[in-house]
A and B are shown apart, each in its own frame.
Chain A
Amino acid sequence: MSYTVEGSTGAWEVVVGLEVHAQVVSESKLFSGAATAFGAEPNTQVSLVDAGFPGMLPVPNRECVAQAVRTGLGLGAEIHLWSRFDRKNYFYADLPQGYQISQYAHPVVGEGAVEIELADGARKRVGITRLHLEQDAGKSLHDQHPSKSYIDLNRSGVALMEIVSEPDMRSPEEAGAYLTKLRQIMRYLGTCDGNMDEGSLRADVNVSVRKPGEGFRTRCEVKNVNSIRFVMQAVEAEARRQVEVWEEGGTVRQETRLFDTARGVTRSMRSKEEAHDYRYFPDPDLPPLVLEQGWVEELKAALPELPDARRARYARDFGLSPYDAHVLVLEKETAAYFEEVAHGRDPKLAANWVMGDLFAALNRTRRGIENPPVSARDLGALLDLMGDGTLSGKLAKEVFEAMVETGQAPGAIVEERGLRQVTDTGAIEEAARAVLDGNAGKVAEYRGGKDKLFGFFVGQVMKAMAGKGNPALVNDVLKKLLG
């Protein structure tokens, strides 16, 4: 069922396109040798190029270009061997040069697409219009002084990829799924760390509404939304607002708006109200960016496996369910963890442990997969102990909990706590005889046909053995003695 906003005049369809700014993973900035690391002291990661000093000139970073090309390839997009940097001219306190170097007329990456998955299992293709490289601006701090803004240029000149989608999304969910997918692909590629808390990924959300069957109506751009959840909320809030405007007989004005996360509404941006005229023109400090096909091929050959391919492989080679495969590839760290556990073992068992016990432990300990309480190697070793009969499934769960608590390897825990399961039939027989002797009445009932009691005997034997009896052997022994 498709998403609509119900107004007094009926249902409205929502049209969404995203312009995503993704910070490129690189050591140094797009046009200067200053560092890009997050959280440095103000103005310490600034070259005189980034600060727009007189006579300073930009020199582009090869790795940033490579990252843009890798991302383009990962989006199945066309790579433009000839592209160019333009200047986007405007005055702003944190824009030191008075212009942003961007790729307006000739982006390095052209059309591509991503496929998104929706909660109901449906899949949808979202078109990518283009991807280009550009500089980030600095940061203004408005809350440090009653009448002043403070400017920190550490971010100034950091490389961004601006990824523009087609207006192909029709609901908050689709917008969220698209951004999730984009983030996932870039994290697999290692081209953007996707860290939204640190501003590595921001989205300008273009929203319009229309009656089903209509052409596009005027859109508004909600600027700089910095989480997937907020993107979804912003789409919803902005769509509702526009429906109200139209239904009250008004006209939606094309403008840039801000999403007020506290109140869950969008509002007009005062500072951006002035009509823009960016006066784009080719940056005369930078000749055209001409790439060699061979270099692009090299980058392509070295691309890592992407989530869609990986998910297909898990289903095909490991026999995992589509859902399990989907969950395991969501984060590349999870997939890597899973693959280490599954290596040389039963993949389905590995998947169950990762998605079950490990995920629960992550939740409980509030830790991420990149810093898990149990390493993939240790979890693998635990599976091996089950495989060779050292541990029963039940014991393994117990050992796993101990591993979460202590961080110890499973072997050490088994030794220390004497949790090794008993596979000695003599010992089992001894325990079983004692149970049967102490429950002569129930033995008689069982022999009289009350089969259900078998479970009772198993339970009693396991209890007597402190849970360490090998369940299969306990079954065998009891059947023999009761037989």
Chain B
Amino acid sequence: MSLDADTVRRVASLARIRMEPAELARMEAELNGILGWVEQLQAVPTEGVEPMAGGGAVSLRLREDAVADGGKAEAVLANAPDREGAYFGVPKVVE
């Protein structure tokens, strides 16, 4: 499989990274290089193999239901590039 320019543009948009045409072209070449190289995996027979998702434990630990966090709006907002009082600000979103 190889990526065409349209796909690269679509992926960049999905990833929310603005790319100029020259960067898109370079990216297309690089991604095709990498994908060509990982293509070797297709040679590995994997029928009936359970995919391995996580790195560690086989099952989740569950915590007790208690309020033990929050109440720190200042800490939450302190690093905001656009703080609007008690809120984060972003350009108006139209639904």
Taking Cβ atoms with an 8 Å cutoff, the residues of A that contact B are 26-28, 32-35, 41-49, 51, 59-65, 84, 91, 93, 140-142, 144-153, 258, 269-271, 277, 279, 281-282, 284, 286-290
The reply to whether A140 and B73 contact each other, CB–CB distance below 8 Å, is: no
The reply to whether A34 and B89 contact each other, CB–CB distance below 8 Å, is: no
The reply to whether B86 and A148 contact each other, CB–CB distance below 8 Å, is: no
- Given contact pairs A44-B71, A61-B64, a sample of 12 additional A-B residue pairs in the complex whose CB atoms are under 8 Å apart: A26-B65, A45-B71, A48-B76, A61-B65, A93-B93, A148-B82, A152-B86, A270-B95, A271-B95, A279-B14, A284-B55, A287-B58
The reply to whether A140 and B93 contact each other, CB–CB distance below 8 Å, is: yes
The reply to whether B62 and A145 contact each other, CB–CB distance below 8 Å, is: no
With both chains docked as a complex, state the minimum distance between the C-beta of A138 and any C-beta of chain B, in angstroms: 9
The reply to whether A60 and B67 contact each other, CB–CB distance below 8 Å, is: no
With both chains docked as a complex, state the minimum distance between the C-beta of A255 and any C-beta of chain B, in angstroms: 14
- A–B complex contacts, Cβ < 8 Å, 11 sampled: A35-B70, A41-B73, A48-B75, A48-B76, A146-B92, A148-B84, A148-B90, A148-B92, A151-B87, A284-B53, A284-B54
Point out the residue from A144, A281, A288 that lies within 8 Å of B60, measured CB to CB.
A288
Knowing A34-B69, A34-B70, A51-B76, the reply to whether A42 touches B58 (Cβ < 8 A) is: no
User: B92 — which chain A residues lie within 8 A by C-beta?
Assistant: 142, 145-149
Taking Cβ atoms with an 8 Å cutoff, the residues of B that contact A are 14, 16, 53-73, 75-77, 82, 84, 86-95
With both chains docked as a complex, state the minimum distance between the C-beta of A145 and any C-beta of chain B, in angstroms: 7
Q: Complex: how many Å from CA A281 to CA B76?
A: 28
The reply to whether B77 and A151 contact each other, CB–CB distance below 8 Å, is: no
Q: Complex: how many Å from CA A270 to CA B77?
A: 29
User: A33 — which chain B residues lie within 8 A by C-beta?
Assistant: 63, 66-70
Nearest B residue to A287 via CB reads: B57
Knowing A149-B93, A151-B88, the reply to whether A28 touches B59 (Cβ < 8 A) is: no
With both chains docked as a complex, state the minimum distance between the C-beta of B35 and any C-beta of chain A, in angstroms: 16
Point out the residue from B66, B82, B84 that lies within 8 Å of A27, measured CB to CB.
B66
Knowing A51-B76, A287-B60, the reply to whether A148 touches B91 (Cβ < 8 A) is: yes
Q: Complex: how many Å from CA A290 to CA B61?
A: 9
Q: Complex: how many Å from CA A41 to CA B72?
A: 11
Knowing A42-B87, A44-B73, A59-B61, the reply to whether A282 touches B53 (Cβ < 8 A) is: yes
The reply to whether B76 and A153 contact each other, CB–CB distance below 8 Å, is: yes
Nearest B residue to A92 via CB reads: B93
With both chains docked as a complex, state the minimum distance between the C-beta of B78 and any C-beta of chain A, in angstroms: 11
With both chains docked as a complex, state the minimum distance between the C-beta of A10 and any C-beta of chain B, in angstroms: 36
User: A146 — which chain B residues lie within 8 A by C-beta?
Assistant: 92
Point out the residue from A43, A142, A145, A288 that lies within 8 Å of B76, measured CB to CB.
A43
The reply to whether A46 and B89 contact each other, CB–CB distance below 8 Å, is: no
Q: Complex: how many Å from CA A145 to CA B87?
A: 12
The reply to whether B59 and A289 contact each other, CB–CB distance below 8 Å, is: yes
The reply to whether A288 and B59 contact each other, CB–CB distance below 8 Å, is: yes
The reply to whether A35 and B65 contact each other, CB–CB distance below 8 Å, is: no
User: A47 — which chain B residues lie within 8 A by C-beta?
Assistant: 69-70, 72
With both chains docked as a complex, state the minimum distance between the C-beta of B54 and any C-beta of chain A, in angstroms: 5
Point out the residue from B14, B68, B91, B95 that lies within 8 Å of A28, measured CB to CB.
B68
The reply to whether A65 and B62 contact each other, CB–CB distance below 8 Å, is: yes
Knowing A45-B70, A277-B14, the reply to whether A148 touches B60 (Cβ < 8 A) is: no
User: A28 — which chain B residues lie within 8 A by C-beta?
Assistant: 65-69
User: B70 — which chain A residues lie within 8 A by C-beta?
Assistant: 32-35, 44-47
Q: Complex: how many Å from CA A140 to CA B65?
A: 27
